[in-house]
Amino acid sequence: MGQEPVGEQPVGQEPVGEQPVGQEPSVPLGQEPSQHVGQEPVVQQPRGESVGQEPVGMPLGQKPSQDEDPESSQSKQTSENPLTWSYPKVEKPEHKPTVSERLKQVAANSVSARCGESVVRVQVNQDLLGIGRLIQPEHITLGGCAATEEDAEAHVLTFESELHGCGSELTMTEDVLIYTFTLVYEPKPLANTSIVRTSAAMVDIECHYLRNHDVSSNALKPTWIPYTSNMVAEELLYFSLRLMTADWQFERPSNHYYLGDIINMEASVMPYHHVPLRVFVDRCVATLAPDVHTVPRYSFIEDHGCLVDAKLTGSSSQFLSRSQDDKIQFQLESFRFQPQNDSQQLYITCHLKATAASSPIDAENKACSFTDGWKAAGGDDQVCGCCDSSCAVSKARDLDSDSDVQKEGEATMGPIMVQE
């Protein structure tokens, strides 16, 4: 009396040292399990039997009711159908290709030729492969002959040869004489290295002439019309004007701008087997309708390439330095006409002009911006001297000369939506 039973725990507290369900208590080998004084040994029952065992979760000392069968209670916890289980299926991540915008590749159109009565004249743009990388003059020959002229400013090489010179090959048919020349580009390793970054290329050039059986009385006459005069006469030059993205890589998909935004524009000419050309923006006007003669109207490029908007309004409008002769890029700070509505539709119409890339930049063919004075986007700033007065037009040019090729056209773009 007066002694507490050994091993009795307070109600609701787990016994110290109790083993997990279904696990035998660990006993050192050869040692009987010890019993506490006054504690009845635990009688182990076979699994699945409930004889003499109190249900789990019943209050201490409480017996189950007579109308509840322990076996039926146990069966409620048993699944009627066997469980099927497998490892979760590992979903492979969906492969999403990298999204990139790529410009469609086009022919470089970097070689042109003129077949004369006794000579052939070939002009080659130094961006021969159309990848923006200029070739070295010493790396290209016409049948082993070096270039006879080099225009460092226009990046154009000229080869000139007699019909029987520079490794030409003559092929005769019943009616035609064909002189074939081969333009060969063989890149040399870069300085102090053994690597090259361009591929070799070959271009065949043919001059076709009708055969005259009585050659003593008549000279050979070329039946192939030189590209220069043919293409100008047939008006196969294509001028374009388009909106560009901020990085100048793609055409801008949206025509919406806020007041004060910079509008990037690019004018270009597609020469269709023509001699290498250089494009200029001669003049531009902004209107509220496609008709350039409507009012109000704002002329922001005048006098053969003077971008006057920056001088008139103090804006940041300007021409950018050229990356290609057949393209020219310029920026216009967006504006709206008075009276102002919630938004305005602007149309921009530009008069474009193309000249031979070998022609000099002058007062009639220029791209001038005003930034603390007139600056030329290419060439000498002196060609912009007439932008403050008037740039006179000289007499008509002779279109039979390569260096005087000139073609003009108009391009309209819009509507451009400008809002506050």
Identity of the amino acid at 329: Q
Q: Are residues 364 and 325 both part of a single domain?
A: yes
Which tens digits make up the pLDDT trace of 343-402?
A: 678 999 999 999 988 888 999 999 999 998 999 997 788 999 999 888 866 544 444 444
296 CB neighbour count, 10 Å cutoff: 9
The number of folded domains in the chain is 2
Q: Looking at the domain assignment, is residue 288 inside a domain? A: yes
Tell me if 245 is assigned to some domain.
Answer: yes
96 in a domain, yes or no? no
| Final residue in a domain of this structure, among 193, 224, 255 | 224
- Residue that finishes a domain, picked among 192, 224, 256: 224
DSSP 206-254: EEEEE--S-TTTS---B-SPPHHHHHHHTT--EEEEEEB-TTSSSB-S-
Residue 188 and residue 262 in one domain: no
H helix or E strand, kind and range, residue 142: strand 140-142
For the domain that residue 197 is a member of, what is the CATH number? 2.60.40.3210
Residue 42 lies in a domain: no
How far is 197 from 202, CA to CA, in rounded Å?
A: 17
Residues 145 and 272 in one domain: no
Whether 147 and 243 map to the same domain: the answer is no
Give yes or no for a contact between 333 and 317, defined as CB atoms under 8 angstroms apart: yes
pLDDT tens readout for residues 57-108: 455 555 555 555 555 555 555 556 666 766 666 555 554 444 333 333 434 5
pLDDT at 89: 62
DSSP state of 127: -
Indicate whether 313 and 187 sit together in one domain. Answer: no
Retrieve residue 78's tokens. 């048993």
Regarding whether 412 and 294 lie in a shared domain, the answer is yes
Residue-range definition of the domain harbouring residue 325: 238-419
Last residue of a domain, one of 189, 224, 259: 224
Phi, psi angle pair for 74, to nearest 5°: -70, -35
Q: Are residues 136 and 247 in the same domain?
A: no
CATH code assigned at 270: 2.60.40.4100
Strand (E) or helix (H) holding 170 = strand 169-172
Residue 329 lies in a domain: yes
Q: Where are the alpha helices (DSSP H) in 241-381?
A: 309-313
Q: Let me know if residue 309 belongs to a domain.
A: yes
Task: Verify that 216 and 301 share a domain, yes or no.
Answer: no
Does the pLDDT at position 295 exceed 60?
yes
Output the CA–CA distances (angstroms, integers) from residue 162 to 168, 218, 400, in the order listed. 9, 19, 21
Assess whether 280 and 363 both reside in one domain.
yes
Question: How far apart, in whole angstroms, are the C-alpha atoms of residue 306 and residue 310?
Answer: 10
273 has pLDDT over 60: no
Answer whether 378's CB lies under 8 Å from 361's CB: yes
pLDDT band at 263 (very low <50, low <70, confident <90, very high): very high
Residue 260 lies in a domain: yes
Looking at this protein, which amino acid is placed at residue 340? Q
What is the average per-residue pLDDT within 279-286? 94
* Same domain (yes/no): 251, 398: yes
Instruction: Judge if 376 and 413 occupy the same domain.
Output: yes
Inside any domain, residue 53: no
Same domain, yes or no: 285 and 217: no
